[in-house]
Amino acid sequence: MIAVIDYNAGNLKSVETALQFIGADFKICSKPEEIKAASKVIFPGVGHAASAMENLKKNGMDQALREFAATGKAFLGICLGSQILFDHSQEGDTPCLGIVPGDVRQFPKDLGLKIPQIGWNTVDFIDDPLIKGLSKEASFYFVHSYYVDPLDKAHQWGSSNYGIDFCSAVMKDNIRATQFHPEKSGREGLKILKNFLNWEV
Amino acid sequence: MFQKRIVVCLDVREGKTTKGIKFKGNVDIGDPVEMAAQYYEEGVDELVFYDITASAEKRAIMIDVVREVAKRIFIPFCVGGGISSVEDMRKVLLAGAEKVSVNSAAVQNPSIISQGAQIFGNQCIVLGMDAAKDAKMPSGYRVVINGGRTPTDFDMLEWGKEAVKLGAGEIVLNSIDADGTKDGYELTATRMLSEAVTVPVVASGGAGKPSHLEDVLKEGKADAALIASMVHYGDYKIQEIKDYLYKKHVPIRRII
């Protein structure tokens, strides 16, 4: 059973409908003991890093997520759920979960580009079971003003360009995380979710 | 590479898709859920649904449409029309939409933008703005509301900037003069707004052929182009429009 983490941070509905569509066995979870019982975790989210961390800390979900990540079981972060895996976010100067070393930074405002980045962008991935069957030309849907900057470049799974090159997907042991929304990236995005269901770490 | 978006717009009245010219004479043209699924399969980047139902008691039908659409398409979509409170926003977002669009209600009560942005995030809140040419206004365009029927004292450019300050994450600029004419987008207003605000601008009104999209995405500096008639009646397929734009070097999401 996949635990989909509910911490009051938006867009759960679209993850839920996408998982239903691909026939996943999942449960929306908001308690630490439910995470412990799960075989895999999906950690979605849209919103502000500070309020997300505050919600997670309220009932010990922050610690439960750190412990789950350390078990070596499959873990997928999406958007804000990718950012708060890191040590620190510039958004609200927020200390985050510290599961992946590095920082979350705001896009520079002098690039002459619209912020947030809203729309489709391509990703250069390092080969991985989660992108099995995907076209190199595939695009994914992004909505964000902040991006992750892993301390160890070996944790960069994918990169994209929006005025600057930035890390758009993260890999560390049993953890994969995407800045884009696979649940809103059409057929190619759904393939990533399907691959995650079948992924044996 | 970051790409420009093609957005298909569906006007929904009592559960059916309709289309009119210059906001008048709407006729039913199909089931919005089936049409949405079809455009998704064809590779559209985003969808917008406007609820143009006249009576409040029929609004619940729209929520059912949104719920069904969310089960069938896995790209972002926005819902607008008749959204006048945070509660209206919540209903639409919980039913599965990514974004809500506010138009007349935001002119009458601008704080709905900031309230919505605080609760749901800026990325959720789209300002829909209908503008008509008017030489008396500083930018040359006046904001009109109630589906084009009521002129306001708002200047297009000033209102756009103000809405972004309040927390709008995107603006859909619809030209009343161009809407439904198929003669091309209003390029001047689109470029003026897009250069003045920090959020994406979606151009709307007037698309009749693929070169119109090229014009507004290049010359008009739009981040996305909204289309309706040109695909609703089968004149063009999404694929054809995308192939054209790709050949013209407009960065566009390829259909795989």
Domain residue limits, chain B: 5-247
Q: How many angstroms separate the CA atoms of A51 and A94, rounded?
A: 9
Task: Please report the ipTM that was assigned to this predicted complex.
Answer: 0.93
Catalytic residue among B51, B130, B179, B215: B130
The tens digit of pLDDT for each residue in B175-202 reads 999 988 899 999 999 999 999 999 999 9
Judged by a CB distance cut-off of 8 A, whether residue A22 touches chain B is no
Query: Who wins on pLDDT, B102 or B16?
Result: B102
- Please name the residues in contact with B132: beta carbons below 8 A apart, sequence gap of 6 or more: B141, B142, B144, B148, B151, B175, B176, B177
- In DSSP notation, chain A reads -EEEE-SS-S-HHHHHHHHHHTT--EEEE-SHHHHHH-SEEEE---S-HHHHHHHHHHTTHHHHHHHHHHHT--EEEETHHHHTTEEEETGGGEE---SEEEEEEEPPGGGSS-SSEEEEEE-EEPP-GGGTT--TT-EEEEEESEEEEESSGGGEEEEEEESEEEEEEEEETTEEEESS-GGGSHHHHHHHHHHHHH---
- Identify the CATH homologous superfamily for domain B5-247: Aldolase class I (3.20.20.70)
Confidence of residue A97 (pLDDT cuts 50, 70, 90): very high
Specify whether A67 is catalytic.
no
Mean pLDDT score of chain A: 95
CA distance A196 to chain B (A): 17
Confidence of residue B256 (pLDDT cuts 50, 70, 90): confident
Confidence of residue A9 (pLDDT cuts 50, 70, 90): confident
The tens digit of pLDDT for each residue in A64-77 reads 999 999 999 999 99
Residue B103 has pLDDT above 90, yes or no: yes
CA distance B235 to chain A (A): 24
- Mean pLDDT of the B201-208 span: 97
Which of A54, A53, A41, A51 is CA-nearest to residue A15? A41
> What percent of chain B has pLDDT above 70?
96
Which residues on chain B are in Cβ contact (under 8 Å) with A9? none
Which of A103, A74, A71 is CA-nearest to residue A87? A103
Residue contact A186–B223, C-beta within 8 A: no
Which residues on chain A are in Cβ contact (under 8 Å) with B169? 116, 118
Catalytic residue among A16, A91, A96, A183: A183
> What percent of chain B has pLDDT above 90?
81
Among B34-48, B86-100, B238-252, the minimum mean pLDDT is found in B86-100
| Nearest chain A residue (CA) to B167 | A116
The minimal CB distance from A143 to the residues B2, B123, B256 is found for B123
The tens digit of pLDDT for each residue in A110-146 reads 888 998 899 999 999 999 999 999 999 999 999 999 9
> A120, A121, A124, A142: which to substitute to probe chain B, counting the most B Cβ within 10 Å?
A120
Mean pLDDT score of chain B: 93
- Mean pLDDT of the B140-148 span: 92
- Report pLDDT for B22: 56
The whole model's pTM is what? 0.94
Q: How many angstroms separate the CA atoms of A137 and A6, rounded?
A: 32
Among A59-73, A84-98, B44-58, the minimum mean pLDDT is found in B44-58
Residue B30 has pLDDT above 90, yes or no: no
- Report pLDDT for B55: 67
> What percent of chain A has pLDDT above 90?
91
Which residues on chain A are in Cβ contact (under 8 Å) with B123? 46, 116, 118, 143
Domains and CATH numbers, chain A: 2-198 (3.40.50.880)
Side chain identity at residue A86, one-letter code = F
The tens digit of pLDDT for each residue in A146-193 reads 999 999 999 999 999 999 999 999 999 999 999 999 999 999 999 999
Which residues on chain A are in Cβ contact (under 8 Å) with B74? 14, 17-18, 21, 183-187, 189-190
Specify whether B215 is catalytic.
no
